[in-house]
Amino acid sequence: MNRYKKKVVLKKESEEFILPFIIPSKCKDLNAHFIENPPKRLDYSAIFGNTNPIEIEVGFGTGKFLTSAGKLFPAINYIGLEITRKMVQHVANQAHDGALSNVRVVLCDGRLYMKYVVPSESVSRVHVYFPDPWTKKRHLKRRVINQEFFDSAYSVLKDGAYLNLYTDHKEYFEYFLEQRNIFGRFKDTSDMGFYTPTGYEQKWTREGRDIYRAVLQK
């Protein structure tokens, strides 16, 4: 869920920072749809004009991490996946204004995009920061993290590559560790790579909440 209040108008020139992802309207079973009609996997050279390492952020919100990282590391290509249109447009505007030619965003369910569009063994790090914990039983299926996500993340990561997950939510963190154990193929590491506090981390830190961090390695 995203509670960003400001109005966002996508500039025409920012559109090139958004990668397309077409979801059929009124489709009840998207997995079945994508199995029957597999989308084209990403061609990074065609998108970025280079073969630099790829990092993916799922649920980037206001895009603080994505745009900071994009600015600091021009030799890494960043792709942000976000389910809220407004945030995709906001960060596309920022990428345009900052001339961040190594940043792209996609309006999508990051779980589906990782599974059906990101090429296998192509990503150096997957970032998931402060995902919605969805604590009500009927909402659990909305959680980004589950066995299917671990499977997709493992599959798109190169050997030795990383999955970062940070949260302020103790119960979600415990659930994440439990899911990691069930999946059983990642190892723990302390190599968090570059990080800058996201919008939500800043908010939770101001409120004095604890932050839980896990970094897994393929």
Ligand X SMILES: C[S@@+](CC[C@H](N)C(=O)[O-])C[C@H]1O[C@@H](n2cnc3c(N)ncnc32)[C@H](O)[C@@H]1O
Q: Which distant-in-sequence residues (6+ apart) come within 8 Å of 206 by Cβ?
A: none
Q: How far is the CB of 163 from ligand X (least distance, A)?
A: 14
Closest CA to 125 of 49, 47, 65, 57: 57
* Closer by beta carbon to ligand X, 12 or else 42: 42
Residues forming contacts to ligand X in the complex (CB under 6 A) are: 2, 58-62, 81-84, 87, 109-111, 129-132, 144, 198-201
Alpha-carbon gap, residue 217 to 59, rounded angstroms: 20
Cβ distance to ligand X smaller for residue 59 or 70 = 59
Give 13's DSSP letter: G
Q: How far is the CB of 80 from ligand X (least distance, A)?
A: 9
Complex with ligand X: residue 13 or 174, whichever CB lies closer:
174
Q: Is the dihedral of CA 42, 45, 51, 56 positive or negative?
A: negative
Do the Cβ atoms of 59 and 129 come closer than 8 Å? yes
Q: How far is CA 93 from CA 2, 31, 86, 105, 153, in A?
A: 18, 31, 11, 10, 28
- Beta carbon nearer to ligand X, 46 or 70: 70
Rounded Cα–Cα distance for residues 124 and 118 (Å): 12
Q: Using DSSP, state whether 71 is helix, strand or coil.
A: helix
In the complex, what is the shortest distance from the CB of residue 50 to ligand X, in angstroms, rounded to a whole number?
26
Q: Closest distance between ligand X and the C-beta of residue 159, in Å?
A: 25
Q: Residue 56 gets which letter from DSSP?
A: E
Query: Any idea which residues carry the catalytic annotation?
Result: 132
CA atoms within 13 A on the CB side of 137: 0
- Type of residue at 137: K
Which is nearer to ligand X, 49 or 149 (by Cβ)?
A: 149
Tell me the HSE value of 56 on the side-chain side, using a 13 A CA sphere: 30
Shortest approach of ligand X to residue 51 CB, angstroms?
A: 26
